[in-house]
A and B are shown apart, each in its own frame.
Chain A
Amino acid sequence: MTKGYLHLNTGHVFEGDMIGADCGQTGEVVFTTSMTGYQETLTDPSYAGQVLTFCYPMIGNYGLHDTASESVKPFVKGVVTGELWDEDDKLKSFLSSWGIPGLSGIDTRALVKTIRQYDTVIGVISAEANVSNTWETEGSLTLMQRTTVTHPKTYGNGTTHIVMVDFGYKKSILEALVKRGCFVTVVPFSYSFKQVERLKPDGIVLSNGPGDPKALAPYFTQLKKITEKWPTLGICLGNQLIALAFGGETKKQLNGHRGSNHPVKDLQSGKVMITSQNHGYVIADEGLPLGFNVTYVNVNDKTIEGIKHKSLPIESVQFHPEAHPGPSDTDYVFDQFIAQVATGGNVYA
């Protein structure tokens, strides 16, 4: 085992054993509290650009599975774990093959308690005990350009046509739609209104993705135009983009929500659902765009977890109804969306 180090811009250094690739890139250090689903998490494009810490101290126990990845490759800048259980070095080779470094043998709890004290912590994994670093990270737009599809791709053979505007979608969103009888076209987020219109969609999904939604400011006008035209579901980054496109405001959270145990309250039913979450930005309390209602709030910190347009068929959620990892309590969000699409968006009061 070679020693490796996680250097933080706070001056802290954590020593562990190097796994995966030798040399890392700088990124925001974040943590997830999910106890299962390491493979799903590693391959979730929303983690692009980040150094991902697993709070659960034992990762890899049940191996890797062909169907569990949320995208074709991991986009993280590094992985930090406690104990890594890696039979036949599968996980290590997986990381190496994508040039991603990692550390095992880290007291991740101590690391999390350190990160927790700061707004944003930047870090880098290195085999060197000393590094000089400018702590500059990749811009959000660059990240999204990497996580979005380059060309439109179609999936499923249903009759309802959904266009998913892709900022780095999770496979499970696609599957949730296809399973419900949708024909899905995944398009790059740079697609214009005209290009989307030509596809003759019945509904739009704005996907999840990495980074700061404000980096997409140049696209707000066209996103607004698209969502106004067709029934729309926004998920995670998609939720934030809808708020921004309609004149709302987003902000960075202190530590973000990353895990499978986030309680959100459906303000209509009063019921609380446990959701899977992965976001560092959120619609600001005072940033609710005009014409929207809040549909869900986080039970713990009361942040906005979902909004809905008062007259147009636009609804979006900050959490991940598609689960993987995490619970599928809010799976019905897709059902509601599909029902909405089926009526062409005409039932809204």
Chain B
Amino acid sequence: MPKKDNIKKVLVIGSGPIVIGQAAEFDYAGTQACLSLKEEGIEVVLVNNNPATIMTDERIADRVYMEPLTAESIEQIIKKETPDGVIGTLGGQTGLNLTVELYEKGIFNKYGVEVLGTAVEGIQKGEDREKFRKLMMDIGEPVPDSTIVQSIEEGLTFTQSTGYPVIIRPAYTLGGAGGGFAENDQEFEQVLRRGLSLSPINQVLVEQSIKGWKEVEYEVMRDGNDTCTIVCNMENMDAVGVHTGDSIVVAPSQTLTDEQYHILRDSSLKVIRALGVIGGCNIQFALHPHTNEYAIIEVNPRVSRSSALASKATGYPIAKIAAKCAIGYHLDEIINPITANTFASFEPALDYIVVKLPRFPFDKFPEGDRSLGTQMKATGEVMAIDRSFEGALNKAIRSLEMNVYSMNHHLVDSMTDDQLLKELAEPTDLRLFVIAKALKRGMSLDTVKEVTNIHGWFLKKIKMILECESELASYTWNHVPDSLFIKAKKMNMGDRWIASLFGVTEQTVRQKQKSLGIKRGFKQVDTCAAEFDAVTPYYYATYHGSDEVTSTQTKKILVIGSGPIRIGQGVEFDYCSVHAAQAVQKYGYEAVVMNNNPETVSTDYTVADRLYFEPLAVEDILAVAQKEQVEGVLVQFGGQTAINVAEQLENEGIKVLGTSLSAIDCVEDREKFYRLLHDNEIPHIPGKTVKGIDELKEAAESLGFPVMIRPSYVIGGQSMFVCKNHDELKRNVEQFILSENERGWPLLVDRFIPGVECEMDVISDGESILVPGIFEHVEKAGVHSGDSTAYFPPINIGENTKKVMMEYAETLASVLPVRGIMNIQFVVNEDTVYVLEVNPRASRTVPIMSKVTGVPMIEWATRVQLGENIPKPLTGLLGEPSYFTVKAPVFSAGKLPDVDHVLGPEMKSTGETLGLGATKEAALSKVFGQRVHKPQPLLFCSITDQRKKDALFFIQACSNMGFSIAGTKGTARFLNENNVSCIAVVDEELREWWKKHQPDTVLNIPTVGRRKERSGFTIREMAITYDVPCFTALESFNAWLDTLNETKKNVEPKSVQEWISKTTLKMG
């Protein structure tokens, strides 16, 4: 059936800010789907308040609403836009939940909006545990038995009928804390009792355990004519028990027989038909390790992280096709864009293997609970393609950018055999390295297999890599047999790792390859295993076979992507990479894009002229650059990833475009940087570089406490600490040594100067600069810019100060000199403007500033790097818009137990949200989330002694607004003494008190952060557990207070296009 004629305008609901479990994959899916609808002539209205995405670009949707993702706000948009249809299956769980909520509230009905794609009844059947169970029983598909219990007796009644083992999951605990497995009544009672007491609502889910079974996923498509196809199946290397987002995953399945593959395929089709899904659906199975018995774990009737992975693994654009199905097309009417001559109603055949590795944030949070379970903890992932598992695994490892280039990890080196065994049984993010260490120590494959439940095929392959590695290490470089060296390269062992085994340089290793005539071949991803000709320029490299990729004569520029999403390097850099590729194309070059992140828009094969899905290590970039004979490489857009390899690339003879390496070095090497500032009379914060602990102590002493310390090459303030005294200094450095390896030293130590922090992104051609705007941070210096709430235009900065900042920016741009884009951070203390740091690359704020000013910043940054100069009328600081933009950080605190989410110099947020408004307060009110509607809301406070006086005013204000106040003992005493009535809660009773009197807001200004034994840590943890807004800086609390009166006003939502059209910037 062709497209539905009555659908002319469609509302797409996005997934909002990035949090763990809901990341860039929805930018990819959403972007693809919006474009897919637009190419059908449909007017697309998008609501998504994540400003870092491509999806929220003006050109992706006709109207982009960066408005709060709440039913109320979406209703306003529906009322205004009156769309004919809505698609809610593209915005992750957020989009799905909102769709169900709006449907249940009758809002779609009220405004005559048709839910496109899967019907809400189908979504509910897939999402509601009981409805799903019933449906599965009706169609005869097995699901593990489960029940919700509120008492030990209820629990025992359940296990008496189902037997053991069972899994116990307390409701609403942090990261699923307090859950566990039980094999018998005694264990069960113990775990259940703990779970019930930990659950804020005294509720626990008890489920038959299928732990240890194989976990397998199927990505299924279905159209309105009931045609169903499987895009891809995926096998988790980790057995059931580890969240699939945290699992090592291969595609297609490797250890399933044809019979098993098709038993699960048949079941998938049965389920998707029963749910009536139209579009894409993900189904997760547990398969018994030795029989054909299986159970359905979960169904996601929407696009998902797995569907993004499946799309990249096969080339089949699930979201694009799902959007077409939603507006009426049948799969056999949609051309397969990869081959251009077959149709979407087919199942891709792969002739390679894909390995996905999760990227965890524990390099930043060594104190966090690293155990893996049913709560996802990874912030991102990498994917690698090769023609062998060994090759793909090795490529994936070096794609992680964890300073790890093999399966050897310094954190597992010192583990005892017993510790290793424990880590094998209770996996953490380090398990791959633990497995390797165990095998190297001589633990038998059978033992590892038995303890981990990982299939022997994977373990044997891992062992083969390790054996090859130790065989290599048994030779000296000059005596390595050619055959052994070739074997190692066929396993795609990295040059860097091989070099380190012998203490030679990477160049030496590459030289040997050359002399032996070993070359990687590039192959195409074509959905059909070469059965048909394919037109898609989507490639990967392998040492298993010849090079089939032919290049073109057009001049090419290589854009290096930003790798896996991690804290400090998020989807904003993918935004930059995509825009860079588009700019390159616009100016007559072919864009060659390299990246390894399957979640992103940049790895959509329609973005680049030629996409290489490859690691971003020097050897891989070099191979592609040489293969494509690129004119130059753009390194400023992929976050720190590309900057880190720039020097080596240049040494290898690759032309690095833009700012020279010496200039980059000048801003990244603190001593050189301070000298530069000093020479140009730009104030900087006094600081020193230290190489050891003793030097550090001396420096702190001479600079005077408080001091800020950090490593010299950092991403997102990794391992940054503010220390108020020697004790804190000692403790933080110990923690730092634990989490970093030798690359962290030397450390930088600065005098800590509080003040108003500002930042700007500067586009420079080496002479003139273009600055679209300045962001002012709400929180004082000392809070990482990524975790700050920020205003644009600034509020507390005068014209003079702005002028000074611009002067400094111009000076820096010309003396360095900078060609391209850089980010400058300032702190204003009294009347002095200090330059805090310069990042010689695009920053987190670029997408936001581009969107709210309409200035195509990355396009300009690319143009100057390609040789153009900024035309005179565009130079300088642009005029400020009449409306306000507020960006606020979003944290994944609930997913990361034991990580203290107090604001500080180390970045912790995973995403950001945007608010636009005619006033600062209106904009702020959009980022502060749910409002309190109670007549007498409750504020809980705990304030460090040093800040009690400062806090008094704000708490008083809160009290005047009708809040009741409670607080810890000292805080309560202080407040009561100062005529603010406050209920005192002693530390020991905190948890119990909280259960009974849930506060609506928490203000907690800590003495020190990141210390578990402190009561402040408990308070913040409770706030996260109970999902209560918790402010740890007075400035953000104040900003929140400002918005409290704002919420009652009803303002018509405005799209970005409307906001921008109102402004009179210099550039159109």
B548 adjacent to chain A (CB < 8 Å): yes
Give the CA-CA distance A255 to B225 in the complex, in Å: 30
Tell me if B226 and A299 are in contact (CB < 8 A): no
| Contact bitstring B326-368, A, C-beta under 8 A = 1, else 0 | 0000111000000001110111111111000000000000000
Tell me if B258 and A68 are in contact (CB < 8 A): yes
Give the CA-CA distance A85 to B352 in the complex, in Å: 15
Tell me if B352 and A270 are in contact (CB < 8 A): no
A82 adjacent to chain B (CB < 8 Å): yes
Give the CA-CA distance A109 to B544 in the complex, in Å: 10
Give the CA-CA distance A82 to B388 in the complex, in Å: 9
| Contact bitstring A256-299, B, C-beta under 8 A = 1, else 0 | 00011111010001111110000000000000000000000001
A82-B387, A300-B346 in contact; A263/B258 too (CB < 8 A)?
no
Tell me if A109 and B548 are in contact (CB < 8 A): yes
B262 adjacent to chain A (CB < 8 Å): yes
A318 adjacent to chain B (CB < 8 Å): no
Give the CA-CA distance A58 to B351 in the complex, in Å: 9
Tell me if A61 and B254 are in contact (CB < 8 A): yes
Tell me if B262 and A327 are in contact (CB < 8 A): yes
Tell me if A113 and B388 are in contact (CB < 8 A): no
B507 adjacent to chain A (CB < 8 Å): no
Q: Which residues of A contact B523 (CB under 8 A)?
A: 109
Cross-chain contact of A83 among B266, B269, B388 (Cβ < 8 A): B388
B546 adjacent to chain A (CB < 8 Å): yes
Chain A residues 94-124 with CB under 8 Å of chain B are: 107-110, 112-113, 116
A65-B257, A108-B351 in contact; A272/B531 too (CB < 8 A)?
no
Tell me if B351 and A109 are in contact (CB < 8 A): yes
Q: Which residues of B contact A248 (CB under 8 A)?
A: none
B389 adjacent to chain A (CB < 8 Å): yes
Give the CA-CA distance A326 to B255 in the complex, in Å: 16
A109-B523, A263-B346, A274-B229 in contact; A57/B332 too (CB < 8 A)?
no
Tell me if B345 and A299 are in contact (CB < 8 A): yes
Cross-chain contact of A55 among B254, B353, B389, B529 (Cβ < 8 A): B529
A36 adjacent to chain B (CB < 8 Å): yes
Contact-size category for B: 35 or more
A55-B530, A58-B389 in contact; A259/B346 too (CB < 8 A)?
no
A303 adjacent to chain B (CB < 8 Å): no
Give the CA-CA distance A107 to B351 in the complex, in Å: 10
SS of A interface (majority): loop
Tell me if B256 and A62 are in contact (CB < 8 A): yes
Tell me if A36 and B530 are in contact (CB < 8 A): no
A40 adjacent to chain B (CB < 8 Å): yes
User: Closest residue to B528 on the A side, CB-wise?
Assistant: A33
Tell me if B544 and A82 are in contact (CB < 8 A): yes
Give the distance to chain A from B643, nearest Cβ to Cβ, in Å: 36
SS of B interface (majority): loop
Q: Which residues of B contact A269 (CB under 8 A)?
A: 225
Tell me if B530 and A116 are in contact (CB < 8 A): yes
Chain B residues 501-552 with CB under 8 Å of chain A are: 521, 523, 528-532, 544-546, 548
Give the CA-CA distance A255 to B252 in the complex, in Å: 24
Q: Which residues of A contact B265 (CB under 8 A)?
A: 327
Tell me if B225 and A271 are in contact (CB < 8 A): yes
Tell me if B262 and A323 are in contact (CB < 8 A): yes
Q: Which residues of B contact A323 (CB under 8 A)?
A: 262
User: Closest residue to B345 on the A side, CB-wise?
Assistant: A272
Cross-chain contact of A36 among B225, B258, B544 (Cβ < 8 A): B258
Give the CA-CA distance A110 to B542 in the complex, in Å: 13
Tell me if B262 and A300 are in contact (CB < 8 A): no
A36-B257, A255-B531, A299-B345 in contact; A265/B545 too (CB < 8 A)?
no
A156 adjacent to chain B (CB < 8 Å): no
User: Closest residue to B347 on the A side, CB-wise?
Assistant: A261
| Residue among B346, B530, B531 with max Cβ neighbours from chain A (10 Å) | B531
Cross-chain contact of A328 among B227, B262, B531 (Cβ < 8 A): B262
Give the CA-CA distance A271 to B252 in the complex, in Å: 26
A138 adjacent to chain B (CB < 8 Å): no
Give the CA-CA distance A85 to B343 in the complex, in Å: 33
Chain B residues 254-279 with CB under 8 Å of chain A are: 254-259, 261-262, 265-266, 269
Q: Which residues of B contact A68 (CB under 8 A)?
A: 257-259
B457 adjacent to chain A (CB < 8 Å): yes
A320 adjacent to chain B (CB < 8 Å): no
Give the distance to chain A from B232, nearest Cβ to Cβ, in Å: 10
Tell me if A272 and B259 are in contact (CB < 8 A): no
Cross-chain contact of B258 among A33, A55, A261, A325 (Cβ < 8 A): A325
Tell me if A58 and B353 are in contact (CB < 8 A): yes
Give the CA-CA distance A118 to B521 in the complex, in Å: 24
A68-B258, A259-B349 in contact; A271/B388 too (CB < 8 A)?
no
Tell me if B345 and A33 are in contact (CB < 8 A): no
Tell me if B351 and A110 are in contact (CB < 8 A): no
A62-B256, A263-B343 in contact; A272/B349 too (CB < 8 A)?
no
Cross-chain contact of A34 among B266, B349, B530 (Cβ < 8 A): B349
Give the distance to chain A from B492, nearest Cβ to Cβ, in Å: 13
Q: Which residues of B contact A265 (CB under 8 A)?
A: 332, 345
Tell me if A300 and B342 are in contact (CB < 8 A): yes
Q: Which residues of B contact A329 (CB under 8 A)?
A: 269
Give the distance to chain A from B394, nearest Cβ to Cβ, in Å: 15
Q: Which residues of B contact A109 (CB under 8 A)?
A: 351, 387, 523, 529-530, 545, 548
User: Closest residue to A37 on the B side, CB-wise?
Assistant: B258
A85-B457, A109-B351 in contact; A261/B255 too (CB < 8 A)?
no
Give the CA-CA distance A65 to B528 in the complex, in Å: 27
User: Closest residue to A115 on the B side, CB-wise?
Assistant: B530
Q: Which residues of B contact A37 (CB under 8 A)?
A: 257-258, 261
Chain B residues 107-123 with CB under 8 Å of chain A are: none
Tell me if B544 and A299 are in contact (CB < 8 A): no
Give the CA-CA distance A109 to B529 in the complex, in Å: 7
A116-B531, A271-B227 in contact; A57/B342 too (CB < 8 A)?
no
Q: Which residues of B contact A108 (CB under 8 A)?
A: 351
Tell me if B530 and A274 are in contact (CB < 8 A): no
User: Closest residue to B349 on the A side, CB-wise?
Assistant: A33
Give the distance to chain A from B885, nearest Cβ to Cβ, in Å: 48
A263-B229, A271-B226 in contact; A112/B349 too (CB < 8 A)?
no
A13 adjacent to chain B (CB < 8 Å): no
Q: Which residues of A contact B259 (CB under 8 A)?
A: 68, 324
Give the CA-CA distance A36 to B261 in the complex, in Å: 8
Q: Which residues of A contact B256 (CB under 8 A)?
A: 36, 62
Chain A residues 216-235 with CB under 8 Å of chain B are: none
Chain B residues 292-350 with CB under 8 Å of chain A are: 330-332, 341-343, 345-350
Cross-chain contact of A324 among B258, B269, B332, B531 (Cβ < 8 A): B258
Q: Which residues of B contact A328 (CB under 8 A)?
A: 262, 266
Cross-chain contact of B351 among A39, A57, A255, A300 (Cβ < 8 A): A57
Chain B residues 547-595 with CB under 8 Å of chain A are: 548
Give the distance to chain A from B355, nearest Cβ to Cβ, in Å: 12
Contacts A34-B349, A35-B350, A62-B256 aside, 17 further interface pairs with beta carbons under 8 A come to: A35-B349, A37-B261, A56-B350, A57-B544, A61-B255, A62-B257, A107-B521, A110-B548, A112-B529, A112-B530, A259-B529, A263-B229, A269-B225, A271-B226, A272-B229, A323-B262, A324-B259
| Top 7 A-B pairs, shortest CB-CB distance | A107-B545, A37-B258, A33-B349, A55-B529, A261-B347, A36-B258, A272-B345
What would be 6 A-B contacts, judged by CB atoms less than 8 Å apart? A55-B531, A62-B256, A263-B345, A271-B226, A272-B345, A274-B346
- CB within 8 Å of B: which residues of A? 31, 33-37, 39-40, 55-58, 61-62, 65, 68, 82-83, 85, 107-110, 112-113, 116, 255, 259-263, 265, 269-274, 299-300, 323-329
